């Protein structure tokens, strides 16, 4: 059988009479892929996902991120913490370096390899914003997801990583809808609405940012089609993604919340506000005697966030466990003084 390309280029040759019937669909597929390869633009694909034909398929990365919906992604820094989180039902682990002075960078690859050998759930690691070489290293190590995280030091103040150059799904943070859609255009397969970065257990900033994203989506849903152009310009987001968000009534990728989530009630609150899951900080391992109970309670709260009976059961007996996760009065801004 001659190559398909040679058949197409042969003059006065009827393709339908030359190809076997079972190969006929490949003719149209081949032409479609060739046309996509010539067009290097990132385009809407079936109105539900985004893809770049020249590089790595975004639809595959978005599908991998969808696997984490309805779960808790737990931050760990040691093998023992990773095993506790896995046993408690975490859907993924974020491997981070233990607290250290100075510039915070990606975790040591040897720690990632050690934890990957001992757990069966997906593993995520953080790279600095704009540091594409750290992302290359993490992808080579074999992590399942990369978090381009503002929690670490920022490597590039003006540019984020071009995530379409990687086969590994990326997670990016945001504080509003414009941030979220700009990160999706860069190739993020999951959006993380970020709140408190200090590990104090204060959820106020997370609630504020999640409500901001959800509020802007509701405003967009109620807009006339002609107003979407001006709205996309106002929030500095690509028009096609804004239109897709309006059509879907939600972000076009998986949406998690992070920062200050340390109790089952916190996790259920994020889910009821419209998130698909939560990130749990490593502070749940720092205080108390039973981190398994705390992580398990958060996992169950996410799965049954609308069931008050389950939430009551998983919230009982946690007051002593959470005693070290209270925000001091010096770090709290009095209500009403911050523009509330």
Q: What is the pLDDT along the chain (340 residues), one digit of tens a residue?
A: 454 444 444 444 444 444 444 444 444 444 444 444 444 444 333 444 344 444 568 889 999 999 999 999 999 999 999 999 999 999 999 998 876 666 788 888 999 999 999 999 999 999 999 899 999 999 999 999 999 988 888 888 889 999 999 999 999 999 999 999 999 999 999 999 988 777 677 889 999 999 999 999 999 999 998 999 999 999 999 999 999 999 999 999 999 999 889 889 999 999 999 999 999 988 888 766 688 999 999 999 999 999 999 999 888 876 655 555 554 444 444 444 444 3
Q: Give me the pLDDT at residue 37, please.
A: 42
For residues 40 and 55, give the distance between their C-alpha atoms in angstroms, rounded to a whole number: 9
In this structure, is residue 48 part of a structural domain? no
In this structure, is residue 25 part of a structural domain? no
In this structure, is residue 128 part of a structural domain? yes
In this structure, is residue 268 part of a structural domain? yes
Number of domains in the chain: 1
With vertex at residue 90, the alpha carbon angle to CA 180 and CA 131, rounded to the nearest 5 degrees, is 40
CA distances from 132 to 157, 195, 203 (A): 13, 24, 30
Query: pTM for this structure?
Result: 0.76
In this structure, is residue 80 part of a structural domain? yes
Q: Give me the pLDDT at residue 170, please.
A: 95
In this structure, is residue 302 part of a structural domain? yes
CATH number for the domain spanning 104: value is 3.20.20.70
In this structure, is residue 305 part of a structural domain? yes
Give Rg (Cα) of the chain: 23
In this structure, is residue 285 part of a structural domain? yes
Q: Give me the pLDDT at residue 34, please.
A: 44
Longest pairwise C-alpha distance within the chain: 83
Domain that residue 228 falls in: 56-315
Asked whether 148 and 161 are in contact (CB, 8 A), the reply is: yes
Instruction: Indicate the SS3 state at residue 241.
Output: helix
């Amino acid at each position: 059988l001659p190559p398909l390309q040679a058949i197409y280029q042969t003059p006065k040759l009827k393709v339908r009479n030359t190809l076997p019937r079972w190969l006929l669909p490949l003719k149209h597929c081949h032409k479609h892929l060739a046309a996509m390869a010539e067009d290097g633009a990132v385009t809407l694909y079936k109105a539900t996902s985004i893809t770049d034909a020249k590089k790595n398929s975004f639809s595959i990365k978005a599908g991998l991120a969808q696997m984490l919906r309805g779960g808790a992604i737990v931050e760990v820094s040691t093998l023992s913490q990773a095993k506790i989180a896995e046993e408690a039902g975490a859907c993924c682990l974020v491997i981070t370096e233990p607290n250290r002075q100075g510039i915070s960078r990606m975790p040591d690859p040897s720690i990632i390899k050690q934890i990957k050998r001992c757990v069966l759930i997906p593993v995520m690691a953080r790279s600095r914003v704009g540091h594409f070489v750290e992302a290359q290293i993490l992808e080579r190590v074999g992590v399942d997801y990369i978090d381009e995280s503002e929690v670490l030091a920022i490597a590039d103040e003006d540019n984020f990583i071009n995530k379409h150059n990687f086969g590994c799904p990326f997670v990016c943070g945001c504080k509003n809808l414009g941030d979220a859609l700009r990160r999706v255009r860069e190739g993020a397969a999951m959006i993380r609405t970020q709140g408190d970065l200090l590990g104090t257990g204060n959820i106020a900033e997370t609630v504020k940012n999640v409500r901001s994203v959800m509020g802007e989506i509701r405003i967009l849903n109620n807009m006339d089609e002609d107003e979407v152009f001006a709205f996309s310009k106002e929030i500095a987001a690509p028009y096609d993604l804004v239109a897709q968000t309006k059509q879907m009534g939600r972000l076009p990728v998986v949406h998690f919340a992070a920062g200050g989530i340390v109790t089952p009630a916190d996790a259920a609150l994020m889910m009821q506000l419209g998130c698909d899951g939560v990130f749990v900080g490593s502070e749940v391992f720092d205080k108390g005697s039973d981190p398994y109970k705390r992580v398990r309670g958060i996992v169950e709260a996410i799965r049954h966030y609308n069931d008050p009976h389950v939430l009551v059961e998983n919230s009982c007996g946690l007051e002593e466990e959470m005693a070290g996760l209270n925000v001091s009065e010096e770090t709290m801004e009095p209500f009403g003084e911050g523009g509330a």
